[in-house]
Amino acid sequence: MKLGMWLDAVRRERPLVHNITNLVVTNIAANALLSVGASPVMAYAHEEVGEMASIAKALSLNMGTLTPDVVTAMRIAGRAAETKGVPIIFDPVGVGATAYRTQVATDLLRDVDVTVLRANAGEMSVLLGLAGEVKGVDALQADEALPTAMKHYALASSAVVIATGPVDLVTDGHTTWQLSNGHPLLAAITGSGCMLTALLGAFVGVVPEGSPLSTYAEACVAAITSYNVAAEQAAQKALGPGTFHMALFDCLYNLDSRAVDASAGVEVTGA
């Protein structure tokens, strides 16, 4: 699987990614998208989110800081994107931590057909009805049955399903990829998962219209691997979380597509 070509496509096409994201990391997510060559927009007003989602190449929805207004904006944007065939990435941050978050995630997945569902392993376990556990927005535990449950959900929903952690899992319901790149310093900075959700929008945003779900899955594998390879490079330059965070943007900006292919730790674990 040649993953670097997806990074090249993002830089060539500069997809517009509409983000309704965690207010704590709005600037961070935008800078991550700019660093890989994508074009971010952060629009939340009910009066414009539908129009903005309709003209974007991807819509990224992140539940990090929930309010009723944000939930309504997500629903309006999601329905507009769905009508126009714009791929939707959904990150149910903190699902399982409170009844409200769990209900919002359940309702949005019922009301909007997402293209990519991304969560950490604990959140994904909770969302799929397994014995996962979260504390606030952090994963404490994932169920060992998670890979199988993810495949079943992907088949039932026709969505790419991603669970991130020390080892990342990606499935389209037919094939499961296990990704081993990354660095522990990603867990020591604010917004590492939120940045990844935004970057998934950039990579999914360059998938040709009408492509099968397996192509979207490959773009997701490329996004995660590119991000994690950049993290590995940044960690070599960092003194700690602060310098790592700064170096991560630089490494995303300078990331070579050939380095992505050379460093990729990707294994097909089920087909």
Query: What's the pLDDT tens digit per position in 230-240?
Result: 999 999 999 99
Best CA proximity match to 48, nearest among 15, 18, 92: 18
What single letter denotes the amino acid at residue 25?
V
Handedness of CA 70, 50, 150, 223 (dihedral sign): negative
Binding residues for substrate: 42, 191
Of the listed ranges 39-48, 121-130, 175-184, the least confidently predicted one is 121-130
**Whole-number Cα distances in Å, 137 to 23, 56, 95, 224, 243:** 14, 28, 8, 20, 24
Mean pLDDT of the chain: 94
pLDDT exceeds 70 at position 135: no
Binding residues: 42, 118, 164, 191
**What pLDDT does 1 receive?**
73
- Return d(Cα 209, Cα 196) in angstroms, integer: 22
Q: What is the pTM of this model?
A: 0.94
pLDDT exceeds 70 at position 270: no
| Rounded (5°) CA angle 153-154-157 | 80
User: Quick one: average pLDDT of 79-91?
Assistant: 98
- Return d(Cα 103, Cα 219) in angstroms, integer: 29
Of the listed ranges 2-6, 139-143, 195-199, the least confidently predicted one is 139-143
- Return d(Cα 150, Cα 200) in angstroms, integer: 18
pLDDT exceeds 70 at position 146: yes
Residue 58 CA, distance from chain mean position: 11
Binding residues for ATP: 118, 164
User: Quick one: average pLDDT of 182-207?
Assistant: 96
Of the listed ranges 98-112, 138-152, 159-173, the least confidently predicted one is 138-152
**What pLDDT does 81 receive?**
98
Of the listed ranges 12-21, 46-55, 142-151, 230-239, the least confidently predicted one is 142-151
145 pLDDT tier (thresholds 50, 70, 90): confident
Share of the chain above pLDDT 90, in %: 90
Task: Reduce the DSSP state of residue 56 to 3 states and report it.
Answer: coil
Query: Residue 29 phi/psi, 5° resolution?
Result: -65, -40
- Return d(Cα 216, Cα 223) in angstroms, integer: 10
**What pLDDT does 143 receive?**
63
Residue 152 CA, distance from chain mean position: 20
**Which domains are assigned to the chain?**
4-270 (3.40.1190.20)
The per-residue pLDDT for range 195-229, each reduced to its tens digit, is: 999 999 999 999 999 999 999 999 999 999 999 99
List helix spans (H) across 88-176. 99-111, 121-127, 146-157
